[in-house]
Amino acid sequence: MKRETEAIRDLLFSPIAVELQEVEERLRAGLESHSSLIAEVSSYVLGSAGKRIRPALLLLSAKLCGSEDGSRSVALAAVAEYMHVATLIHDDIIDNADRRRGLPSANSRWGSHVSVLVGDFLYARAIQILVEDEDFRILKAFADATVSMAEGEILELQTYKKLDITYEEYLKIITCKTAALISAACQAGALISKTSEEQVKAMADFGLNLGIGFQLVDDALDFVADEERLGKPVGNDLKEGKITFPLIHLAQNGSDGAQRRLRVLVAKERFDEDDLLEVRELVEKHQGVQATMEKVHEFLDKAKASLKLFPDSPSRRSLLCMTDFVRERDW
């Protein structure tokens, strides 16, 4: 099944297969540093089966909008991945996560010291590449996204175990922490191409809605996915006190009994596997995952609509398929 997913991805990414290879080289080349440890840790994190979604979206967006400057889009695709990986590394410190993508996290392998700094290094390298690229609008898109990401993560910490978080608050969190960077990547692809304002806006919107859909699916998968296939532990959000859409739905729409039980379970100091199983059953019984998937469709349909501006092309078909791929993903 994992191979099948990869085959679909290869097909989706076929219009940019060459550029994605160049992105890999660019990612490696950018790690040269005074410190061998930086290259070692960064390569480890970059190499742990990253799906390169953000670089691919940037490259497809550039192609869709008619860019012919392959070297710029490759450099900026590397920026998107560096920023993403920097946040993953810092997230692992936040979550004290032992595993990431099925492998031990950088944090558990090298310690928080090194993780904080390698994340800082990757983020700073990304900015350096943006400065070399000399386009203030693209710099602004990424700079705004990084402010949003930090804000989103902190907002999430502030809603720890808060079952009364509203849907709007949750939406703000996932927009900031996940969708902002995906939107910046899509927007940057359009900006390279010197296309119309309308098309730039359309690609920014596409990325934003795709990113929200992507995170909603992620949050749903935490309740239903197969651990081995997902490559990270299931039920993690709940163990970390993160209140995501399936739970918000349950807290707002569950029976009185279910709501009471949920509050007791979430409030527990030591949340064990039995508790997790019970919450998962409650969520299932009250269609929490279905409700999440309805939201997913809403956002992904909006993303699709943004592509109406563009004529048919291999990259447009790939982007359309990606919205369906996100809907159906189980990784």
**Do 15 and 57 meet the contact criterion of CB atoms below 8 Å apart?**
no
Query: Which residue among 25, 71, 98, 136 contacts a copy of itself (CB under 8 A)?
Result: 136
Least Å distance between CB 91 and a copy of itself? 9
Q: Using the rule CB under 8 A, is 94 a contact of a copy of itself?
A: yes
DSSP annotation string for 135-197? -HHHHHHHHHHHHHHHHHHHHHHHTTT-TT--HHHHHHHHIIIIIHHHHHHHHHHHHHTT--H
Site size toward a copy of itself, by CB under 8 A:
42
Question: Can you read off the two tokens belonging to residue 35?
Answer: 């410190």
By CB under 8 A, name the one of 99, 103, 144, 320 that touches a copy of itself. Answer: 144
For 70-73, which contacts have Cβ atoms below 8 Å and span 24 or more sequence positions? 70/19, 70/22, 72/133, 72/192, 73/19, 73/189, 73/192
Q: Does 34 interact with a copy of itself (rule: CB under 8 A)?
A: yes
Nearest to 58 by CA among 128, 126, 115, 131: 126
Q: Is 117 in the site for a copy of itself (CB under 8 A)?
A: yes
For residues 309 and 202, the answer to whether their CB atoms sit within 8 Å is: yes
Q: Is 97 in the site for a copy of itself (CB under 8 A)?
A: no
**Residue 41 or 289 with smaller CB distance to a copy of itself:** 41
| Comparison of 17 and 157: residue with beta carbon closer to a copy of itself | 157
Q: How far is CA 239 from CA 84, 215, 294, in A?
A: 23, 18, 25
By CB under 8 A, residue 49 contacts a copy of itself:
no
Q: How far is CA 267 from the centre of its chain?
A: 28
How far apart, in whole angstroms, are the C-alpha atoms of residue 145 and residue 311?
Answer: 28
Q: Which of 157, 264, 305, 321 binds a copy of itself (CB under 8 A)?
A: 157
Cβ at position 167, least distance to a copy of itself in Å: 16
**Contact in structure between 55 and 20 (CB atoms under 8 Å):** yes
Residue from 53, 149, 217, 234 binding a copy of itself (CB under 8 A): 149
- Taking the complex as a whole, how short is the minimal distance between the CB of residue 111 and a copy of itself, in angstroms? 9
- The answer to whether residue 147 forms part of the interface with a copy of itself (CB under 8 A) is yes
**Which window, 3-11, 146-154, 257-265, 281-289, contacts a copy of itself (CB under 8 A)?**
146-154
The one-character DSSP state at 193 is T
The nearest distance, CB 67 to a copy of itself, in angstroms, is 21
| Chain contacts with a copy of itself (rule: CB under 8 A) | 33-38, 90, 93-94, 112-114, 116-121, 123-125, 127-128, 131, 134, 136, 139-140, 143-144, 146-147, 149-151, 153-155, 157-158, 172, 176
